[in-house]
Amino acid sequence: MATGTEPSPTDHRPPSGVRGAGRAAIAAPHLRTDRWWLAPAATAAGLLAFIVYSTWRAFANADYYAAPYVSPFFSPCLAENCQSMRSGPNWELFGGWWGLSPAILILIFPLGFRLTCYYYRKAYYRGFWASPPACAVAEPHRKYTGETRFPLILQNIHRYFFYAAILVAGILTYDTVLAFRDEHYAWGHMGLGTLVFLVNIALIWAYTISCHSCRHIVGGQLKHFSRHPVRYRAWRFVGKLNAHHMLLAWVSLVSVSLADFYVYLVASGVFDDPRFF
Amino acid sequence: MSSYEARFRVWRGDIEGGGLKDFEVEVNDGEVVLDIVHRLQATQAPDLAVRWNCKAGKCGSCSAEINGRPRLLCMTRMSVFDREETITVTPLRAFPVIRDLVTDVGFNYRKAWEIPAFVPPEGVGPGEYRMFQEDVDRSQEFRKCIECFLCQDTCHVVRDHEENKTAFAGPRFLMRVAELDMHPLDAAEESGLDRGRTAQDEHGLGYCNITKCCTEVCPEGIKITDNALIPLKERAVDRKYDPLVWLGSKIRRRSS
């Protein structure tokens, strides 16, 4: 956990960092009096809850389709062992040899996108790795090389996950359109699930588009905005969204889990999807 | 006007050693921590060393740590603390101490010296520089920096790892690289200097793990991480890790 940066009583190594030679002689690793541990602890708890939930759902490999809704954790379904979804996102690219849950095949991409996301990096470096646990709170590690070496140098492939996330968001948009059918696949209907999917896809797009890599690609890489007015406008728009990237990261994480949970409840027969029309 | 007696703990000492000393000192309405430090000098500790100048948050001299948080003494109002609270003031803990609240911030000047300066464009004389506002907006945000070095002090890369000071320029100077790389008239690229690449190779951009402490402590409210460090990381990705961008630039260069 992010707390507990006091040196252990058996630690006989020479002091370093803020307690190192030349620095003001203060034994405490930090002098903060506020509840600095609350934010990393809450972050770690939130991320752990999502990891536990998504692992259970991905490996359970059941109750992910209740016509016309397909869980976002299983879309697109790329293996032969997928449940058949009428006009749904069934693409058996992996054929019949894949015996595990098909969710694993697709979750790699959105998870990779979030894992290398600039906001989530801050969140888990602070929350799980205590590097640092909070600002001006000494970290417990003796050595630090940041993102200069393997494996963390791989964080630089974030933009490729961004490209993949665009494709996944496109497929989830298609799923949302399909949600305007009823359980007999007749078009022009809407249920509570459709609303859940609509909110989810809006948040997924907002989070995806607000990505720092997106901001760079649409215009941030330019030296002269004045020569590229369209890209400048796009950069400003993404910049406005980007200012809320942390918020969007969390709400989209919750919304995608809720969308999946809704499908689980309907598919497992806990309740019937209320239909608006 | 109301006043009260506040409890202060101020670090006194030098490179040989020192410790936190307790004081009780009068506080009046509207005062900031620097006022109280000056009152301590005037009444109880005439030899207390503190660096200060403008008292307006513009010179960047009075950087210190208040209750463990890097802040400007002159911009921290006493009204943000409870009257019963003991307020701890220490020097910046990332740099060698000289005496009391004064530290040796020479590390920062050495890093500033390592950043190649603005490269003037060829054929444009002094007084002939013309730029569009939208092209200089980004660099102008970074020009608000008052060089208080609070971001350098709070950055765990050097605060907690002295050994990284050689390789890592710190957020303030990576921001300087970004400022120049985004400057519409900087001709570094034409002169063979690739600032995006050198940020990674020579100024230690890869050490930054974007935990945003620099942004949190900046008294000028500069979005150091979002507007300088991350764009710089993306530019480094363009140069070093993205074969598509590399290929595109090769093709463009060949066709032009």
pTM, full prediction: 0.92
CATH assignment of the domain containing B54: 3.10.20.30
Per the structure, the count of domains in chain B is 2
b/e map A246-264, b = 16+ CB within 10 Å: bebbbbbbebbbebbebbb
A11: confidence class by pLDDT, cuts 50, 70, 90: low
Within 10 Å of residue B85's Cβ, how many Cβ atoms?
12
pLDDT digit string, tens, across residues A84-137? 777 777 777 777 777 788 888 889 999 999 999 999 999 999 999 999 999 999
Residue A18's closest CA among B147, B92, B171, B66?
Answer: B92
Question: Would residue B61 be called left, alpha or beta, if left means φ above 0 and alpha means ψ between -120 and 50 degrees?
Answer: alpha
A31: confidence class by pLDDT, cuts 50, 70, 90: very high
Q: Which residues in chain A have their CB less than 8 angstroms from residue B238's CB?
A: 221
Report the half-sphere exposure of A7 (CA within 13 A, side-chain side): 15
Question: Would an 8 Å CB–CB cutoff place B135 in contact with chain A?
Answer: yes
Alpha carbon distance A61, B169 (integer Å): 49
The pair of structure tokens assigned to A277 is 């029309």
Q: Which residues in chain B have their CB less than 8 angstroms from residue A224's CB?
A: 132, 135, 184
Alpha carbon distance B165, B155 (integer Å): 11
- Kindly provide the ipTM of the predicted complex, given to two decimals: 0.92
Q: What pLDDT score does A222 carry?
A: 95
A–B CB contacts, 8 A cutoff, strictly below: 157
Same structural domain for residues B120 and B205? yes
B242–A159 CB contact, under 8 Å: yes
Same structural domain for residues B143 and B196? yes
Residue A106's closest CA among A124, A116, A119, A91?
Answer: A91
Q: What pLDDT score does B254 carry?
A: 63
Nearest to A24 among B85, B90, B217 (CB): B90
* DSSP letters spanning B50-79: -----SSSSS---EEEETTEEEEGGG-BGG
CATH assignment of the domain containing B246: 1.10.1060.10
A 214-233 near B (Cβ less than 8 A): 215-216, 220-221, 223-226, 232
Residue B226 belongs to domain spanning: 106-255
Indicate the residue among B103, B125, B142 that finishes a domain.
B103
Q: Which residues of chain B have pLDDT under 50?
A: 256
Indicate the residue among B54, B70, B103 that finishes a domain.
B103
Same structural domain for residues B220 and B158? yes
Residue A119 near residue A245 (C-beta atoms within 8 A): yes
Indicate the residue among B67, B85, B103 that finishes a domain.
B103
Nearest to A32 among B69, B135, B241 (CB): B69
Alpha carbon distance B49, B110 (integer Å): 24
The domain limits of chain A are 29-267
A146–B85 CB contact, under 8 Å: no
Alpha carbon distance A57, A80 (integer Å): 19
Same structural domain for residues B208 and B117? yes
Same structural domain for residues B44 and B160? no
B 42-61 near A (Cβ less than 8 A): none
Q: What pLDDT score does A6 carry?
A: 45
Question: Would an 8 Å CB–CB cutoff place A234 in contact with chain B?
Answer: no
